[in-house]
Structure 1
Amino acid sequence: MMEEDDMEEIRAMAQRASFITRDLSSCAPVHAKKRKGEQVAAYEKTPRKMKKKEEEKELIHLLPIKDKSRLIPQSMEKPVQPKEVDNDSEPEEETETVEEVEAGPSLSAEEQLELRAQKLQERKERIAHLGSAILADPHTNIKKVKEMRAMLMETDPSVAVTVRKLVMVSLMEVFKDIVPSYRIRPLTEAEKAAKVKKETKQLREFEEGLVSQYKFYLENLEQVVKDWKQRKLKASEAVSLDCYAGLAEVAVRCMCELMVALPHFNFHNNIIVMVVPHMNDPARKVSEMCCDAVKKLLKQDKLGDASLALVKVVSGIVKSRNYHVKPEMLRTLLCLRIKEVEVKKDTEALKPKQKFMSYQEKKKNLSRMQRKWKKAEEKLQKELMEAEASESKDKKLKLHTETLNIVFLIYFRILKKAQKSVLLPAVLEGLAKFAHLINLEFFDDLLAVLHNLIVCGDLSNRESLHCIQTAFHILSGQGDVLNIDPLKFYTHLYKILLTLSAARFTEEAGIVLQCLDVMLTKRRKQVTLLRAQAFLKRLSTISLHTMPDAAVGILAANRTIMHAFPKSDIMLDNEMQGSGVYLPELDEPEYCNPQNTSLWELHSLKRHYHPVVRKFAAHLMRGAPSEGGGSLSVELSRRLPVELFEDYSVKDMTFNPPVGAPPSKKKDHFTIGHAFLDSELKTQIDQVLATESDLTSLNFAEHRSSSEPV
């Protein structure tokens, strides 16, 4: 038997033992951390309501807050509502006392802006650090491109949009700097298996990583634009749908920059496929951005690879959308650098010939074996030069020919199937530029189509002018060998001139001046004098109501016509008498009797408010002399009518040249006021003002000049 003191000591030790006092239902050790599932289970096991002593209010348990280390229960007090006491009911359970942990204090607007600026500055510094490291040593730090590209997935909602835009633009500039000047091709299995130097291996790793990261970057840009178009975002996306428009615009801008800056590098055709459809985008800013980029690409493309790829994509889009595209898409094709499509056989003169040693020089300076090797070397160099020149020239002409065939295919499809489309003006402009490169087989059919378009009456004046311009470009190129008299097109232009609106003539004056140059000046041997005089009179008539820039261009065109047809000066002589009456409203230039009238409009234009118009009018009245009295200055006489029209343009609604200030009529000095007064009168005025007496005591009549009438 144990004594009472020993039993009490054993009981106390047993109570302090961990394996007795802890919950035996759990197999985990005491020092082990509880897992998330166990925390949730423990939370679920706690009773929602329990008795509380000396407290009448009830707590409503809310959803808990999930912290990094634990779950923070939340609750709020429920107002006590009086209710009837039910003796049979069980005692009311009260909610358990749970310690409520309040969240951190909410930030004010200024603090939030300051916090956002701090975060944004950190991201900018990181972007700058990565970009500097990549540009400093691209071969070693190519992996940092992946780190920078990972920032495109920024998840902080406060800075996500800005950071992603900065990363897009930064990566674009980085790729423009580190991309080599050649296309990187994938290695073959034999090349991968072969042993190479350390430098070669490092270069291959750099090229492989560069192509891989460049591809992923383009895919990211494409995905941003695709998400914006489809209006589909993930629920966890940190950027709202409204902000995606700005992101997509930056992505399109980056693709346009890369398309223009890196036409020689990999995936260039893929970029073209992504950019060209956005030329027809409903957003005007995006559409203009893509059109400008395509124009730059076509202007700088010398060989023709990029132009051919772009024209193919444009042709597919125009056909797939059933010709419902913006005219700007077709107007970009006017920037194609295609001047010839015929293959020339003589390719030896394409490059300057290399100077080789003569036989005497070889015999004097070289040994027999050296002369033998030198002969073989020079023969090989000649063959290489010939092969290189012929191949590059033939390849360029072949690409240009194929490109132009696709362009004409687009134009002819629209002329055949969509003559009432908004694309027709752009098609006519394109035909006017490239008409001299069309095959002779299509000339008759194309001229018939253009004539029918004008006769149908559905075209505007600008479109009709483009048809006329196209017809004469065809006849001025390869069409010179054809025996065709385009009298009907002269009649169309003569008729259109009177219908041109004075308000809109400025927009169409450039086309009219180009048509006049091709129809009258360059074809002066095929044009009769009566026809030239009729155009001279009608142009003088419409110059009375046009803007000054158009009037200058028209008078310059009249000067050119008078030089091309010297006998037209009969219209400046008032003493000449013809046989008939001038018919100004007749639309046939051959039968309106222009020789029976005079250019009286020049007298009105001589008093024009524009100084250049006055100069041209006075010059024409004297017969447009090339030298001597009445001749024009060199700046005006050597400029073409179209160039003068552009030089004196008034698109900004300003005078060109600016009107000088009127001469000042003010005096150089002013007389002081009291000098106009008589000395005695001034003395009296000063006395009155000093004494503040009655002003009626002054007698002004006594001090008037004797010459002044009373």
Structure 2
Amino acid sequence: MAPVRKRRGMTKKAPTFRRLLKTSNEKMQNKLRERKFRQRSTDKHARKEQRKLRSALRHAPPPQGASHKSGDRNSDDLEVPWDMMEGEENYICAVGQHTAFLDQHLVESAPPMKRRCREDNPEPYEVVPRSAPTKPSRRLVHLLPIKDSAGIHPRVMERPVTQEEVCEEGEDVGKSKKGKARQRKQRVSRPLAVPPNLSETGLAAWREKILNDKKRHIALLASSVLTDPHNGVQKLKELRAMLGERCVAVSVAVRRLVMLSLAELFCDITPSYYVRPLTEAELAVKVRKEVKALRDFEKGLVNQYRLYLEALEQVIRAWQKGSSGSKRGVAGVVSEALQGLAEVAVRCLCRLVVGLPHFNFHRNVLLLLVPLMDHKCPKIGECCRAAISKMFREDRRGESSLAATRLIAALIRKQNFQLHPEVIRVLLNLRVHDVEVQKDAGSLAPTKKGSQEVNLSRMQRKRHKAEEKLQRELLEAEATENKELKLRLQTETLNVVFLIYFRILKKSPNRNLLPPVLEGLARFSHLINVAFFDDLLMVLHKLIESKNLKNRERLHCIQTAFHILSGQGEALNIDPQRFYKHMYSSLFQIHCGSADEDVAIVLRCLDAMLLKRRRQVSTTRVLAFTVRLGALALQLQPNGALGILATLRSLFITFSQLNTLLDGEEAVGGVYQPLAEEPEQSQAQGAALWGLIALKRHFHPTVRQFSGHILAGAPTEGRESLPSNLSRSSPSEVFGSFSGAGFNPPIPNTPATKKVRLQH
């Protein structure tokens, strides 16, 4: 087979560099042209710089040895041999003879575009005379220059140096910046001294002037912070620094004003969220300018708020130590004025605990205020209790309430139950009405793992986890209340409250704590677990039988027992006969001199015992209570008598068997026993309500109207019917409406009689 012959045009050439780069010929030509142009410009500039340098060297002064070449050498000059010269002088002379190295070195080392030409004319700043270091007692002052046809002529004048400037120049200049900053921090402003030789009037006027200046300065700082809070952190810091006012004449007044101003400022400019510290990863991320400004504002605000709280705490701690015997407290403030500062500091803390329950350091504020609720100073104790009560009423989330309740429980244990009863009464303001109590104990048992779960694949579990994360982010974005979290917090709060109540009932030797505890049990009894009902009723019965309680405390125990039985206790088979007996014997201890609170408790107990339990109570028991209430109305004030009459009216409407008490001629059963201890043994069916006849002649018109209405059988219309405002009101509402200080109804004005003159 013959070999294949290659064609002439089929010869393959080696690829060139330009072809490999795929660059066109025109682009390569342009690049070469630009490169040549830049090279010519560089060479031209280098030649120009060399010419300038040669010209400068040509006009330079001759070297030191040039004078010896001339024939006019002085005969007195002595020639020193070269071997007697030092090495440095030999080098200088040798270099001075040959200056060509300067030309070469400067041209090669200096950058071509930044090399400055050397001119013979000096710069303007070199013409200005300078102060010699040998004359430190003079200093130059630059005056206005003079301008004429020749140019501008600067003028300088010498002035003597003061002793202070000499001392300042003598200080060590080489101190570091850290040392200067440390000295600046340690430098304390001197307090404003009181002018000497002033009378009392002049001293008062001087103090008033200084105080007005301080007030004006505080107002300016506060208004500037309110105008632009994000840029007012420095002003806030300056205002907080005024807490250390050292002028004795106005220090207490200025500190009070600054404390109150800062408290209102923080409540106004603080954001409505918790400022958490940034992590290292978040700090490393580069953010926008607006975000950085917001972070700086939050950081500065939290820092100033912390320092402000520390200052308030310092004042309170110093007052507590000063009250024990020391004469001075904070920065030279005497203990008499320190008490006023402490009261203002407590007021500021109370304002912050109510106004900023969401912000940082709220728990720290509670740690300061809760122990002060039991303080021996009445103003401070009442202020703290009022603030905590208001916080309980306005707390919608429950976190602050739970923290404060735990601190109160710790305070009770620390004081060993020896504290003010109003501290326990504060717990009545808790908002725990939304708690759902577990009625079935089995529902609390944990479910077995995997019993209710469905086996999911890996992708399904991953998708489910992503949906849960998205749902959480949506809830945070909407800023809505999490109902599950709120329910859990309120349940924990209620558990702590009941723990406090049960511990006081069983272990407390202080009987003064029983009224608020029993009142709290009556208020929250519908939220108690059913499993504790029997034990709680047994404890209440033992307290009543102990006979160590006052009448109001026994009434509180009875009210608590029936509140428990009226809620979830209806499902229990418990006969409260013993509590009916205690209530029946306690009615005669209410008299005209009793407090209105005792009558209000009696009305609430009767409503829970007779009206709300009308299906469980017997007729004999109702008859006995009705007869005793008719006798009780005779020995009460008009407001108490109206409350009892309103209860009798409700009983007559509910129980038709009571109409036999209005007929005095019929005698049913035996003889009435008014002093019997058991209501069933009083034989009240043979009695009559003779007390209503006496009340019909009462001095109060509404009491007369109510008595006639009941004697007529409580009609809904007709002459003996009641007005709508009385017929539609409950006994407690009727009692409250007539408990005011004024006359209800008001006393009518008698018309003035005209005097007629008799004409003769």
Aligned residue in 2 for 1:317: 411
Residue 659 of structure 1: aligned partner: 747
Correspondence 1:193-592 to 2 at 5 A = 193-231=284-322, 232=326, 237-342=331-436, 392-592=482-682
- Aligned equivalents of 1:613 and 1:391: distance in 2? 50
Contact 1:160 1:238 in 2 (8 A): no
Structure 2: state its 5+ residue gaps.
1-160, 168-188, 440-465
Q: How far off is 1:662 after superposition?
A: 4.2
Contact 2:329 2:335 in 1 (8 A): no
Q: Which residue of 2 aligns with 1:97?
A: none
Q: CA deviation at 1:480?
A: 0.8
Report the CA distance between 1:113 and its aligned residue. Answer: 1.1
The answer as to 2:293 corresponding to 1:189 is no
The counterpart of 1:156, out of the listed 247, 252, 258, is 247
Q: Distance in 2 between matches of 1:426 and 1:105?
A: 59
Paired residue for 1:78?
Answer: none
Cα deviations across residues 142-167 of structure 1 (Å, max 9, x unaligned)? 11111001111111111111110000
Partner SS state of residue 230, structure 2: coil
Aligned equivalents of 1:528, 1:454: Cα separation in 2: 23
Taking the aligned partners of 2:699 and 2:757, their CA distance within structure 1 comes to 35
- Provide, for residues 604-647 of structure 1, a one-character-per-residue CA deviation record: whole Å limited to 9, x for no partner: 11111112111111110111122334221110011111111111
Choose which of 228, 232, 239 in structure 2 pairs with 1:137: 228
Which stretch of the first structure deviates more once superposed, 299-308 or 654-663? 654-663
Other structure's SS at 1:280 match:
coil
- For residue 271 of structure 2, the aligned residue among 170, 180, 185 is 180
Tell me the equivalent position of 2:695: 605
The 2-side partners of 1:491 and 1:406 are apart by: 33
**Distance of aligned partners of 1:536 and 1:390 in 2 relative to their CA distance in 1, 3 Å threshold:** same
| Cα drift, residue 435 of structure 1 | 1.2
CA distance in 1: counterparts of 2:351 and 2:385, whole angstroms: 12
TM-score by length of 2: 0.68
Q: Per-residue deviation at 1:121?
A: 0.6
Check whether the contact 2:695–2:707 (CA below 8 A) recurs between aligned residues: yes
8 Å CA contact retained: 1:555, 1:617 = yes
Contact preservation (8 Å) 1:343, 1:397: no
Q: Rate the CA distance shift 1:141–1:387 in 2: closer, same or farther, 3 A.
A: closer
**Counterpart-to-counterpart distance in 1, 2:243 and 2:575:** 65
Tell me the equivalent position of 2:259.
168
- For residues 225 and 426 of structure 1, do their structure 2 counterparts lie closer, same or farther at Cα, with a shift above 3 Å needed? same
Let me know the Cα RMSD of the aligned residues: 2.9
* Structure having the higher Rg: 2
Asked if 1:119 is matched to 2:213, the reply is no
Q: Distance in 2 between matches of 1:389 and 1:215?
A: 26
- Number of aligned positions between the proteins: 546
Shift in Å at residue 586 of structure 1? 0.7
Please say if residues 323 and 414 of structure 1, whose CA atoms lie closer than 8 Å, have aligned partners that are also in contact: yes
Q: Distance in 2 between matches of 1:224 and 1:667?
A: 71
The change in CA–CA distance for 1:187 and 1:556 in structure 2 (over 3 A counts) is: same
Q: Which amino acid aligns with 1:413?
A: R
**How big is the shift at 1:530?**
1.2
Q: In the alignment, is the contact (CA less than 8 A) between 1:552 and 1:645 conserved in 2?
A: yes
The range that moved more, 331-340 or 117-126, is 331-340
Shift, 1:260, TM fit: 0.5
Q: TM-score, normalised by structure 1?
A: 0.73
1:282 and 1:636 map into 2 onto residues whose CA distance is 45
Uncovered stretches (5+) of structure 1, i.e. residues with no partner: 1-29, 37-67, 69-102, 346-375, 677-710
User: What displacement does 1:599 show?
Assistant: 0.8
What is the CA distance between 1:340 and its match in structure 2?
3.8
- Say if 1:553 and 1:644, in contact at 8 Å, map to a contact too: yes
1:55 aligns to what?
none
Measure the CA separation in 2 of the matches of 1:156 and 1:395.
Answer: 52
- Which of 706, 719, 736 is 1:616 aligned to? 706
SS in 2 for 1:644: helix
Amino acid at match of 1:432: A
Q: Which range is displaced more, 379-388 or 512-521?
A: 379-388
Amino acid aligned to 1:333: L
Aligned-residue sequence identity (percent) comes to: 50
